[in-house]
Amino acid sequence: MRRHHCPRPNEFTLASLLSACATAASLDAGRQLHALAVAAGLEHHAMVRSALIDMYGKSGNMSDADVVFLNRTKDDVVSWTAMIVGNAEHGHSKRALELFEEMCRVGLKPDHVAFIGVLSACCHAGAVELGLRYLNAMSKSYGLEPSKEHYGCVVDLLGRAGRIDEAEELIGGMAANERDGVVWTSLLRACAARGEEQTGKKAAERVMEAEPWGAGAHVAMANLYASKGQWCEAAQERHMMKQKGVVKGVGWSSVTVGGEERGVGVFVAGDRTHPQDNLIYEMLDLIYYGVGMARYVPDQMNLASEVELMVNTYSSSYN
């Protein structure tokens, strides 16, 4: 990042640039902006501080986010919330829950975003009763109306715990305009994971009503049928996708090697267009061989038919 004869940045400029770095998970550029914030004397501004915490969190560097947070000169809800959400997103559920409780103890009122963070932490930790308690506390203790995002977290939480009926009941208690495809998808995924066919069908119908051209419901139901060995039904779901012209997005991953100045490498399943694709696939063959030697067997039940299993064996190995 170069800055030649530019005017002194203000807190709005820095916060916007840090937000862009957070979205791109660009840690190197974010660190340069952090240094610029220090030089400009804006590191402790609430807006910049929360943006720094968010940037470090989304870049996977919670230790630096902790340093920024612990060096705060004043408490504010946004910085606490950024820490709660960052820890929750990275699976540090215990830390996220501790921060939420501490924020409440120091007299700060959590907002809607803070509750999304703490409910996500409950979901990762499998803390069902605690999650239900927080959901109820939103309206009863803090005067906040839960949104579909909050309900979605708790539906996911109940679903992961196998409490499918309670999850469906919770959705039934929501306002009709809040029951969108996201909430029903959370229930559908839980049903697919648990093999709950009847509730899964109902959830899939609701998802398809909300998102008629989406692939998610068909793929989830195909996986559900495949997990139960119902290959005809799984194939039928795939056939319906083809009839509707629905295409499942291709899986991809990215990695930064040798610093961001060297660029970011993007890898797509089954892609052979990279100039070094032979070397890449040779290395993947070695890794896959090592995985096999360690007696790890990939779960192929999420492929919708035995034919697709054979066709996709090679490409799915590189996912």
Token pair, residue 314, equals: 């090679």
- Would you say residue 106 lies in a domain? no
- Would you say residue 131 lies in a domain? no
Measured N-to-C along each axis, helices 148-160 and 112-125 cross at an angle, to the nearest 10 degrees, of: 10
**Sign of the four-CA dihedral 276, 278, 281, 283:** negative
- CB-neighbour burial class of residue 90 (10 A; exposed 0-12, middle 13-18, buried 19+): middle
- Residue 304 and residue 232 share a domain: no
pLDDT at 50 over 60: yes
**What is the pLDDT, as a whole number, of residue 304?**
44
Question: For the chain, how many structural domains are there in total?
Answer: 2
DSSP states along 31-66: HHHHHHHHHTT-TTSHHHHHHHHHHHHHTT-HHHHH
**What is the pLDDT, as a whole number, of residue 314?**
44
- Would you say residue 71 lies in a domain? no
- Would you say residue 44 lies in a domain? no
**Greater pLDDT, 279 or 158:** 158
**How sure is the predictor about 308, in pLDDT bands with cuts at 50, 70 and 90?**
very low
- Would you say residue 260 lies in a domain? yes
Entry pTM: 0.75
The mean pLDDT value for 62-66 works out to: 95
- Would you say residue 289 lies in a domain? yes
pLDDT at 10 over 70: yes
**What is the pLDDT, as a whole number, of residue 227?**
79
Share the mean pLDDT of the chain.
Answer: 84
DSSP bridge partners of 264: 256
Segment among 10-14, 93-97, 107-111, 240-244 with least mean pLDDT? 240-244
Tell me, what CATH number does 212's domain have?
1.25.40.10
pLDDT at 64 over 60: yes
Q: Answer with the one of 249, 282, 309 that is the final residue of a domain.
A: 249
- Residue 238 and residue 189 share a domain: yes
Residue type, 169: E
Q: Answer with the one of 221, 249, 277 that is the final residue of a domain.
A: 249
CA 142 – CA 111 distance, rounded (Å):
9
Neighbours of 124 (CB within 10 A): 19
CA 48 – CA 139 distance, rounded (Å):
30
- Over residues 70-107, the pLDDT tens digits come to 998 888 999 999 999 999 999 999 999 999 999 999 99
The residue count of the chain comes to 319
- Would you say residue 270 lies in a domain? yes
**What is the pLDDT, as a whole number, of residue 293?**
66
Helix residue ranges, H only, 143-263: 148-160, 164-172, 181-194, 197-210, 216-227, 231-244
- Over residues 211-240, the pLDDT tens digits come to 877 888 888 888 888 878 888 888 888 888
**What is the pLDDT, as a whole number, of residue 306?**
42
The mean pLDDT value for 22-50 works out to: 92
Contact of 9 with 36, CB cutoff 8 Å: yes
CA 236 – CA 305 distance, rounded (Å):
10
**Domain span holding position 155:** 147-249
**What is the pLDDT, as a whole number, of residue 312?**
45
